[in-house]
Amino acid sequence: MEAVSEQIHMPLIGEDAPSFTAVTTQGTINFPDDYKGKWVILFSHPADFTPVCTTEFMTFASMQEDFRKMNTELIGLSIDSIFSHIAWLKRIEEKIQYNGMKNVEVKFPVIADLKMDVAKKYGMVQPKASTTQAVRAVFIIDPEAKIRAILYYPLSTGRNMQEIKRLVIALQKNETEKVATPANWQPGDDVIIPPPNTMEGVKERLGKEEEGKCCLDWFICLKKDTQK
């Protein structure tokens, strides 16, 4: 009789982020209770002491204060032991120089997930890629512990951390200002005003000019970003 493979559910955008308690390089964390009121970037990497992961961790660590200014915390994860994590992070700090970065101390928690408890909750293990390593998953989670964005990269390709930062800024802007961001948007660029959803709203928009607002048609209006 053919064995039934384990079904791993990946949480979706808008769903509650799965809760967990985990041992990390910064002590035990309880998620989401320890992160109430904060945005969180939860990301996985395939393995310690690997080249692509090393460049990613150095880059994330160098940006940690920038993220904290945005009320955003970082949490890393791989299917490695706590001792492997510590040894790798110490090696990064003491020896590795990359892209102008050196003596980089990784201060954000890195989850030791040897039993894949957290990785499976978040669908970070992709059996067709590897049954023993997590892919490069990124979950952006809001202060209400709702998943707001999901990014997945293969084992071979490093992530663009500036894009992740841009995405957090855009999500926060949507939350506080109720605007959307157009293609290739960068902080400071024009933002999109939500379109009207009634005929009366369409008439009002077309018949009203406002300084700093540009309408290409009734359904697409942009305005200057006042919070750069």
pLDDT tens, residue by residue, 27-73? 999 999 999 999 999 999 999 999 999 999 999 999 999 999 999 99
Query: What separation in angstroms does the CA of 176 have from each of 171, 173, 180, 200, 221?
Result: 9, 5, 11, 26, 18
Mean pLDDT in the chain? 91
213 shares a domain with 119? no
Q: At 142, which CATH number?
A: 3.40.30.10
Summarize the confidence of residues 121-144 as an average pLDDT.
82
CA–CA distance from 38 to each of 32, 125, 172 (Å)? 9, 26, 11
Could you tell me which residues are annotated as the binding site? 136
What average pLDDT does the segment 107-125 reach? 93
Q: What is the CATH number of the domain that holds 212?
A: 3.30.1020.10
155 and 182 fall within a common domain: no
Instruction: Answer whether 167's CB lies under 8 Å from 161's CB.
Output: no
Sheet containing strand 136-141, strands side by side: 27-31, 20-24, 110-112, 72-78, 39-44, 136-141, 147-153
**Number of compact structural domains in the chain:** 2
- Which is nearest to 33 in space by CA: 141, 153, 129? 141
Strand bridging mode 72-78 / 110-112? parallel
Task: With respect to residue 192, please indicate whether it lies within any of the assigned structural domains.
Answer: yes
Binding site per annotation, positions for substrate:
136
Q: Domain check: are 61 and 150 in the same one?
A: yes
| 152: three-class secondary structure by DSSP | strand
Q: In terms of Cα–Cα distance, which of 185, 193, 186 is closest to 213? A: 193
Report residue 207's pLDDT band, with 50, 70 and 90 as the boundaries.
Answer: confident
Does residue 147 share a domain with residue 205?
A: no
* Annotated catalytic residue 214: no
Does 84 lie in the same domain as 28? yes
Q: Measured in Å, how far apart are the chain's first and last C-alpha atoms?
A: 61
| 134 contacts 45 by C-beta, under 8 angstroms | yes
Domain that holds residue 121: 20-159
**Marked catalytic residue, from 53, 214, 215, 221:** 53
| 228: confidence class by pLDDT, cuts 50, 70, 90 | low
Give CA–CA dist 170/165, Å, rounded: 9
Q: Do 85 and 154 reside in the same domain of the chain?
A: yes
Residue 14, domain member (yes or no): no
As beta bridge partners, residue 191 has 223
Residue 190 shares a structural domain with residue 154: no
Same domain flag for 37 and 132: yes
pLDDT computed for residue 209 by the predictor: 76
Is the residue at 40 inside a domain? yes
